Amino acid sequence: MEFQEITFGLVNYQSSLLLRDQLLRRPLGKVLSESDTGEDALQRHFGIFIQINCRPAWL
């Protein structure tokens, strides 16, 4: 498990938007909108990353 800063606009940031929408907004019947993320470039974002080593089923 690793704590990392998420850089605005990069792949991890885009993934965090997906998580914010699916896990935090949709259960409440809401959708993440531009008004929710409009100031994200001005803020710092952090996440916990867990590396999962998956082995193909045929091995």
Q: What is the pLDDT of residues 1-40, one digit of tens each?
A: 899 999 999 999 999 999 999 999 999 999 999 999 999 9
Give 57's pLDDT tier (boundaries 50, 70, 90): low
Q: What is the pLDDT of residue 58?
A: 65
**Half-sphere exposure of 28 toward its Cβ, with a 13 Å CA cutoff?**
8
What does pTM read for this prediction? 0.76
Can you spell out the DSSP letters for the chain? -EEEEEPTTSHHHHHHHHHIIIIIIGGGT----HHHHTTGGGS-EEEEE-------TT-
Distance, CA of 47 to CA of 12 (rounded, Å)? 9
- What total of structural domains would you count in the chain? 1
Please report whether residue 16 resides in a domain. Answer: yes
Give the domain range for residue 7: 2-49
Q: What is the pLDDT of residue 24?
A: 95
Please report whether residue 57 resides in a domain. Answer: no
Please report whether residue 59 resides in a domain. Answer: no
Place of tokens 């929408």: 21
Please report whether residue 39 resides in a domain. Answer: yes
Please report whether residue 54 resides in a domain. Answer: no
